[in-house]
C-alpha cells in the first residue's frame, strides 16, 4: 500500500512554502497540531525525516526536497484532472484560485465572494495575495487561475488581461525627515543619503521588481503597503506612496508631499487569466471583476478635522 497520498504531499508542500507548521495550518484551514501530526506520521511511515527542525521554523532536508520535485507536479496534475472532470459534468471548476496584489485587502472582495457563493455552483474559492511580480508569477506557474496584478505582465504571453484601474503615486516623508527641509525638487543624490522604504517582491523565480530604487540605495523592505506607509509616517525613510491611500495623512500633516526631479509614472493594474481557460467560475469572476477596481478597493485611513 502506498505510503504517500496527495493530502500528505499537500501538507508537506504547504509547510515548505510557508516555513512553519502554524503558517501551513493557517493556509490549509487546519490547526497546527493536525499539521504536525500529519508530518510526523508520514515520516514514521516512510522511515525517514523530511524536515530539519529549528524551533518553530522548519526546512526541507534532501529527502523532502526530492519528494516535492515530483510531488508538486502530482498535485498540479490531480487538481487539473479534478477540474476537467467537474467541468465536463457541470461546466464549473472544482476550485477557483484568485490571487490579488497585496495592495488590495482581501476583505475588499467580500461582496464579490458573497455573490459567487450565492450561485451555489460547488466551486471552492482559494484566495491569496502576492506583492509586485508575485501575482504574475502565480499565474505563469499555475498557482492561480485569475489575478489582480500591478504592472505589466512578464514577456512570453500565454494570458489574457484587461486593465482595471491605475494609481497615482506621490513622494512622501514625515515632516521631521531631513528631506522635508531641502526646499527644492529632490535629486538622485539627495535620496541616496537616506533609507528608501520598499515593499518586498514576493516572486520566487521571476526577477524581483523594484520601483524608484537606485543602485546602492539604502533600503528597508517591508511586506505590505500599510507597513510602508507606517514606516514613512514614523520617519524611517522615504518613498512613493499611492495618493488614494494617504489622503488623510497628507491632510493632517503626518506625511508631506515633496517634488522630485524624477516623478513616478502612474501604475496600471490588470485582471489576467490563462489563454484558453473556459471554466464557468472563471468566466463569472472575469465578468464580475472587469470594472474599475483600483483605487476603489484600496484601504484608506480615516481622519476627521
The per-residue pLDDT for range 155-211, each reduced to its tens digit, is 888 999 999 999 999 999 999 999 999 999 999 999 999 999 999 888 766 555 555
Instruction: Please tell me whether residue 268 adopts helix, strand or coil conformation.
Output: strand
Q: In which domain, by residue range, is 22 found?
A: 6-69
- All three cell numbers of 280, joined, read 464557468
- Neighbouring residues of 16: CB distance < 8 A, sequence distance ≥ 6: 59, 60, 64, 68
- pTM to 2 decimals? 0.71
Pair (221, 193) in one structural domain: yes
Pair (186, 115) in one structural domain: no
Pair (177, 133) in one structural domain: no
79 vs 193 pLDDT, higher one: 193
Number of H helices, E strands in the chain: 10, 12
Mean pLDDT of the chain: 89
Pair (272, 250) in one structural domain: no
pLDDT, residue 303, reads 47
Pair (174, 146) in one structural domain: no
Among candidates 116, 131, 126, 102, which has minimal Cα distance to 29? 126
- All three cell numbers of 277, joined, read 481557460
CATH number at residue 190: 3.40.190.290
CATH number at residue 51: 1.10.10.10
Count of structural domains, the chain: 3
- DSSP-assigned letter for residue 144: -
pLDDT tens sequence across 223-273: 889 999 999 999 999 999 999 999 999 999 999 999 999 999 999 999 999
Residue 143 within any structural domain of the chain: yes
pLDDT, residue 304, reads 42
Amino acid at each position: 500500500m502506498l505510503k504517500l497520498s496527495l493530502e500528505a504531499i499537500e501538507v508537506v508542500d504547504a509547510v515548505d512554502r510557508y516555513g512553519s507548521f502554524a503558517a501551513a495550518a493557517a493556509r490549509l484551514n487546519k490547526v497546527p497540531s493536525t499539521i504536525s501530526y500529519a508530518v510526523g506520521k508520514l515520516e514514521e511511515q516512510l522511515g525517514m525525516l523530511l524536515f530539519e527542525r529549528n524551533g518553530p521554523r522548519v526546512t526541507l532536508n534532501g529527502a523532502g526536497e526530492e519528494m516535492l520535485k515530483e510531488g508538486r507536479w502530482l498535485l498540479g496534475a490531480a487538481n487539473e484532472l479534478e477540474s476537467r472532470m467537474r467541468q465536463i459534468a457541470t461546466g464549473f471548476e472544482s476550485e477557483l484560485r484568485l490571487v490579488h496584489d497585496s495592495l488590495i485587502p482581501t476583505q475588499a472582495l467580500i461582496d464579490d465572494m458573497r455573490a459567487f457563493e450565492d450561485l451555489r455552483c460547488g466551486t471552492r474559492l482559494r484566495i491569496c495575495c502576492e506583492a509586485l511580480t508575485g501575482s504574475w508569477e502565480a499565474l505563469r506557474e499555475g498557482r492561480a487561475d485569475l489575478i489582480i496584478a500591478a504592472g505589466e505582465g512578464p514577456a512570453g504571453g500565454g494570458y489574457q488581461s484587461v486593465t482595471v484601474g491605475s494609481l497615482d503615486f506621490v513622494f512622501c516623508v514625515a515632516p521631521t525627515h531631513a528631506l522635508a527641509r531641502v526646499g527644492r525638487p529632490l535629486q538622485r543624490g539627495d535620496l541616496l543619503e537616506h533609507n528608501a522604504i520598499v515593499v518586498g517582491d514576493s516572486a520566487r523565480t521571476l526577477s524581483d521588481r523594484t520601483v524608484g530604487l537606485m543602485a546602492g540605495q539604502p533600503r528597508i523592505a517591508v511586506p505590505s503597503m500599510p507597513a510602508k506607509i507606517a514606516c514613512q509616517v514614523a520617519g524611517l525613510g522615504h518613498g512613493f506612496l499611492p495618493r488614494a491611500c494617504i489622503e488623510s495623512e497628507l491632510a493632517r500633516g503626518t506625511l508631506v508631499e515633496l517634488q522630485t526631479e524624477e516623478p513616478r509614472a502612474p501604475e496600471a493594474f490588470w485582471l489576467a487569466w490563462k489563454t484558453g481557460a473556459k471554466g464557468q467560475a472563471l468566466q463569472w469572476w472575469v465578468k464580475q471583476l472587469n470594472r474599475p477596481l483600483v483605487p476603489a478597493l484600496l484601504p484608506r485611513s480615516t481622519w476627521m478635522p
